[in-house]
Amino acid sequence: MLCFAFFLASSSSTSQPPRVPSNVAWTSPTINEASHGNALRGLLIAKRCEHCHGSEGFSANSDIPNLAAIDPLSFWKQMQDFASRKRNSAIMSPVAAPLSHADVADLAAYYSLMPASADPFDKRVFPSPAIPPAQSARAAQLIVLGDAQRGIPPCQSCHGPVGFKAGAPPLSSQNEDYLFNQLRDFSTGARSNDINMPMRTVASLLTEDERHALAAYYGSGLGQLPAGTVLPK
């Protein structure tokens, strides 16, 4: 579900001003702008992105995110956050800053149309090797049910039952190391561009082993199967 308001932390007259996590406000004009890019023009701009993200939107480095079949609104927001440095990245911020809103919408349109199906001839690292059944079972439980005793909602409530939901970052074909790094950064506050703090809250409640399990589950391709699938031994 898209968030339509900025998170504003409570503050007193003696405290620091509240930190706004993103300059993106999901108004109707913004959603329209982000949703109607020119995919053909995006293909041409994306030639600059292929060095890191692969010619088919799948990276050869597990630390780098895959972009194929990404949700256009999610992509657009992350690029705006990189440009404004609401999401810090020494690599991506200089890349995103010169791009116009139209450029980003065109890239979003292009990558959203790229297939996430397997290609044995490219250099993608996705999917990573199969994970142990116990680790898979723990991840599946968090994805489907969450953990009510700790106030952790199921991952699928925001990201969808097969790791995809409009307006949310797709997880079903994302690289393991990238996912783990994002969960770690959210848990420590090193990444803080999530409006209303859903990811910072959830990631901080997860244990290190659970963050690894979730990253390995999605990174191994299990997220492309029905939610909570655990392969037999």
Strand partners, 152: 147
Q: H or E element: which one contains 149?
A: none
The H-assigned helical ranges of 23-100 are 28-35, 39-45, 50-53, 72-84, 92-96
Q: Which residue has the tokens 């079903």?
A: 172
pLDDT in tens, 146-160: 999 999 999 999 999
pTM for this entry: 0.90
> Where are the domains positioned within the chain?
28-113, 133-224
Q: Can you tell me the mean pLDDT for 52-70?
A: 97
* Third-level CATH fold of 28-113: Cytochrome Bc1 Complex; Chain D, domain 2 (1.10.760)
- The pLDDT score that the predictor gives to residue 15 is 66
- Look at domain 133-224 and name its CATH class: mainly alpha
Q: How confident is the model at residue 208 (pLDDT cuts 50, 70, 90)?
A: very high
The answer on pLDDT for 7 being more than 60 is no
Radius of gyration of the chain (CA): 18
Residue 45 CB contacts under 8 Å (≥ 6 apart), including other chains? 99, 103, 106, 107, 110
28-113 and 133-224: identical CATH topology: yes
Lowest mean pLDDT among 44-48, 135-139, 193-197, 223-227: 223-227
